[in-house]
Amino acid sequence: MTTPVAIINARIIDPVNGRETRGGVLCANRKIVAIGQVQVPSGAKRIDAKGTIVAPGFVDVGVFSADPHACAAGGITRVALMPDQSPVLDDPALVARATAARKPDLWVHPLAAATRGLEGLELAEIGLMKAAGAVGVATGRRWIASSGVMSRLFAYANAFDLPIIVHAEDGGLADGAAATAGETATRLGIPSAPSVAEALAVARDLMLAEQAGAHVHFRQLSTRASFDLIRQARKRGVRVSCGVSPAHLLLSDIAIGAFRTYARLSPPLRSEDDRLATIEAVRDGTVDLICSGHDPRGTDDKRLPYADAAPGMAGAETLLALSLTLVRDEVISLPRLVAMLSSTPASLLGLPAGQLKVGGDADLVVFDPDAPWRVDDDKMQGQAGNTPFDGLPVQGKVTATIKGGEIVSR
């Protein structure tokens, strides 16, 4: 039995119903036991939200590291772990081990490798990995070149009712590239690929998913052409969803600056036109969810010539603060943003999370949407602090993260 936790004087965001109310939330025995005007029992741990917000804990789809300190600091209570681990998550025993890791502070939901060793050649044992705890299938950091393998993957995963989470960059164009083709890459002399590499991959996988009746989720999209393809596919009834990262909403390829390796990402930062198209796709509902793309890299991976540096950034701790820009700019409402960070990703993966209801798991985040702070890579809580937003003043800070009724960060 755990000590009850009572959050009082809060703005309560219910992302499922898209509404905001005032009051509190009482948790006991790992569950939510009351919402609204709650009676605080004696001996309960009390969190006075002082008019700030309580919402379901965030669910981050497609992290490359189950980084508990970074997640707790960012209000993330569940992560879907990419299969690009060492060893690769292409075996039921490895999936089972990953499922059990980090509990109870952070729940890890593995994504099974689509192919053995993520080599794109031979399908892995998807059914056995689902039984071991996998909640989806992913192609990893790479694109699967063989359309035949992808076709069988969609059919196979659909038979097990699992979403296929895809990295969309045509390798024939993008292999060896470190930036998107354009003025910045040309000026800096960085090997680059045209942005159509993304749309080409999206177009193929949409057609194959449509043929199989499968659910394809594009982990991070970043170009106008890709979002247009998603819109067209939805009109045909294709089961498709997609995510974006705050980096691609807020930064263009200009952020590469003087070979700033912290801004080397995958997909790469795009043109300003594509960045604006990404915001518009959030506004009109084409984008389903926002993910951090958390991929912490050590200095040995980043302090290299730009083209040799590893792509990726530490994103978990800044996910909320950067995403709140969409609310302040009136692109979306606060309940919609919370849904994109919690209930929608939970629904994608079939998880019992992302909602506020009596009897539900007590996974919560308390945050002040107006609290100012400055991103400082030297003060990040996670495994590494590589972020292209180092030094940026932001607003919106997590003040408490609660997992299973226990306070894991405050």
User: Across the 410 residues of the chain, what is the mean pLDDT of every consecutive 10-residue run?
Assistant: 91 94 96 94 94 98 96 97 97 96 91 97 97 97 96 97 97 95 95 97 98 98 98 98 98 92 96 98 98 92 93 96 98 98 98 95 97 94 90 97 93
Q: How far, in Å, CA of 269 to CA of 251, rounded?
A: 7
Q: How far, in Å, CA of 269 to CA of 180, rounded?
A: 7
For tokens 């981050």, name the residue.
Answer: 60
CB 214 within 8 A of CB 239: yes
Rounded to 5 degrees, φ, ψ at 125 are: -80, 80
Q: What three-state secondary structure class fits 228?
A: helix
Domain spanning 57-354+372-393, CATH class: alpha beta
SS3 content of the chain, % helix, strand, coil (to 5): 35, 25, 40
CB 238 within 8 A of CB 205: no
Q: What three-state secondary structure class fits 388?
A: coil
Q: Say how far residue 287 (Cα) sits from the centre of its chain.
A: 12
Q: How far, in Å, CA of 199 to CA of 96, rounded?
A: 34
Q: How far, in Å, CA of 340 to CA of 56, rounded?
A: 11
pLDDT of residue 258: 82
Indicate yes or no: pTM above 0.85. yes
pLDDT of residue 257: 87
For tokens 């969609």, name the residue.
Answer: 154
Q: How far, in Å, CA of 155 to CA of 332, rounded?
A: 35
192 DSSP β-pair partners = 179
CB 67 within 8 A of CB 381: no
**CB within 8 A of 17, min separation 6: which ones?**
none
Strands 240-244, 216-218: parallel, antiparallel or unpaired by DSSP? parallel
Residue type, 87: P
pLDDT of residue 157: 95
**Alpha helix (H) ranges present in 101-252?**
126-131, 147-159, 171-174, 183-188, 196-212, 224-235, 246-250
- The domain spans of the chain are 57-354+372-393
